[in-house]
Amino acid sequence: MNKTSSKEAVNRRSFLRTGLVGGGAAAAGSMLAAPAVLAQAPMVLKMQTSWPASDIWQVMAQQYADRVEQMSGGRLKIDLLPAGAVVAAFQVIDAVNDGVLDASHSVCAYWYGKNKAASLFGTGPVFGGSPTTMLSWFYAGGGEEFFRELLQDKMGMNVVGLLGFPMPAQPLGWFKKPITGAGDLKGLKYRTVGLAADVMQRMGLSVAQLPGGEIVPAMERGVIDAFEFNNPSSDMRFGAQDVAKYYYLGSYHQASEAFEFLFNKDVLDDMDDDLRAILRHSVEAVSTANTAFALDNYSSDLQKLQNDNGVNVERTPQDILAAQIDAWDQLIPELEADELMKRILDSQRAWVERVTYYELLNAPDYALAYQHYFPGKVEL
């Protein structure tokens, strides 16, 4: 599809699904089986991610593609490509809108430069809700309709978006020397994305927004002094342990993100109802698979970083967490000057206030039980 418009691509797929069937009927008396065979050829969607081929997230995107093919009985296939195969990592939304790609696998913060409201769907203020709380807001609290309004009504984009996989909160990141408080961050050149960039700038850092594949080379050249990406597995595959040895976990800058699945709307509209449903419900299915896969790999790779690579793993100091909340408090009123962003933030606050009230009251003290059975492993 990279050389055709989305409408041309739709017409081509329509021909494959319906035109050849008609051709087969017209030629029924000719005893030719080829048209009937061709009519059953799978619809192939070109999906590009924002991840290098070597990143664990490319594997997690492939888990989605595999489920789509299996659920559709082979009628629908996804040609999954890594970042840069067709467009750059930050450009997938434009490529899906233009019909250069049929779909993308990315995160909303990567197009925050187009509209800051994008960052509210994963890298906005936490308000106390977990990643699962915020993904639940998307599907049960009105978030999906807000996302449609942002993409289609406000930005005029020909795309449909879904979210999946409630990511564990992102680490504060990688540093070349120990960090003891917010004062140690001032003046550092730091990589992050989305509204997290605004938050960290208010804390005195100089922020560069880079795709994952450019982070370690930027550290090596001195373009940045510190960085975060997302998780121990991706960070280890990037080679983070080769350029920094202090890794701080637990942060409020990006604490409730999820994968973003974008689809060209014309492609979806032209599709049979059951195939369209498979694309949607495969997002839900792979969210569970991604979670299990991530917890397995992230935890084992964290131990490898500590035991095999000499990385010092610490919790982010409370002083920095408090400074992040203060920075969010300064930023939120500015965001709310935008009418849509205010409605989104009001909806998120109301959801978190009600849902997290239940979650906090209902949750037992997991740390107490962990420390009982594995004493001395963690200091909280």
220 and 335, same structural domain? Answer: yes
Neighbours of 336 (CB within 10 A): 14
276 and 248, same structural domain? Answer: no
271 and 157, same structural domain? Answer: yes
Among 273, 296, 319, give the residue marking a domain's end.
Answer: 296
Q: Is residue 379 part of a domain?
A: no
Q: Is residue 306 part of a domain?
A: no
230 and 126, same structural domain? Answer: no
Q: Is residue 376 part of a domain?
A: no
319 and 180, same structural domain? Answer: yes
266 and 233, same structural domain? Answer: no
Q: Is residue 122 part of a domain?
A: yes
C-alpha–C-alpha distance, residues 144 and 138, integer Å: 5
- Give every CB contact of residue 308 below 8 A, 6+ residues apart in sequence: none
Residue 53 in contact with residue 82, Cβ under 8 Å? yes
Axis crossing angle, helix 339-362 with helix 318-335, rounded to the nearest 10: 140
User: What pLDDT is stored for residue 212 in this prediction?
Assistant: 80
190 and 161, same structural domain? Answer: no
CATH number at residue 15: 3.40.190.170
What is the radius of gyration, based on Cα positions, of the chain? 23
195 and 113, same structural domain? Answer: no
The burial class, CB within 10 Å (0-12 / 13-18 / 19+), for 364 is exposed
C-alpha–C-alpha distance, residues 238 and 217, integer Å: 10
Q: Is residue 76 part of a domain?
A: yes
Question: Which tokens is 301 given?
Answer: 């790779």
155 and 243, same structural domain? Answer: no
C-alpha–C-alpha distance, residues 197 and 209, integer Å: 7
Domain total for the chain? 2
Question: Which tokens is 254 given?
Answer: 């990006």
Secondary structure string (H, E, C) spanning the chain = CCCCCHHHHHHHHHHHHHHHHHHHHHCHHHCCCHHHHHHCCCEEEEEEECCCCCCHHHHHHHHHHHHHHHHCCCCEEEEEECCCCCCCHHHHHHHHHHCCCCEEEECHHHHCCCCHHHHHCCCCCCCCCCHHHHHHHHHHCCHHHHHHHHHHHHCCCCEEEEEEEECCCCCCEEECCCCCCHHHHCCCEEECCCHHHHHHHHCCCEEECCCHHHHHHHHHHCCCCEECCCCHHHHHHHCHHHCCCEEEECCCCCCCCEEEEEEEHHHHHCCCHHHHHHHHHHHHHHHHHHHHHHHHHHHHHHHHHHHHHCCEEEECCHHHHHHHHHHHHHHHHHHCCCHHHHHHHHHHHHHHHHHHHHHHHHCCCHHHHHHHHCCCCCCC
357-369 confidence digits (pLDDT tens) = 999 999 999 999 9
Nearest to 163 by CA among 97, 230, 259: 259
151 and 58, same structural domain? Answer: yes
Question: Which tokens is 64 given?
Answer: 């989605």
Q: Is residue 378 part of a domain?
A: no
CATH number at residue 222: 3.40.190.10
Neighbours of 311 (CB within 10 A): 21
Among 244, 266, 296, give the residue marking a domain's end.
Answer: 296
User: What pLDDT is stored for residue 39 in this prediction?
Assistant: 54
Nearest to 179 by CA among 168, 190, 170: 190
Q: Is residue 51 part of a domain?
A: yes
Q: What angle do CA 263, 127, 182 make, to 5 degrees?
A: 105
Amino acid identity at 182: A
10 and 64, same structural domain? Answer: yes
Q: 375 to each of 271, 318, 368, 379, how far by Cα in Å? A: 55, 22, 10, 9
- Is the pTM higher than 0.75? The answer reads yes
Which residues span the domain enclosing 355?
173-255+311-368
Rounded to 10 degrees, the C-alpha dihedral 169/174/293/133 comes to 10
Q: Is residue 1 part of a domain?
A: no
Residues of the chain with pLDDT under 70: 1-39
Q: Which residue has the tokens 């999954």?
A: 80
156 and 273, same structural domain? Answer: yes
User: What pLDDT is stored for residue 126 in this prediction?
Assistant: 87
C-alpha–C-alpha distance, residues 77 and 231, integer Å: 29
Question: Which tokens is 207 given?
Answer: 């922020």
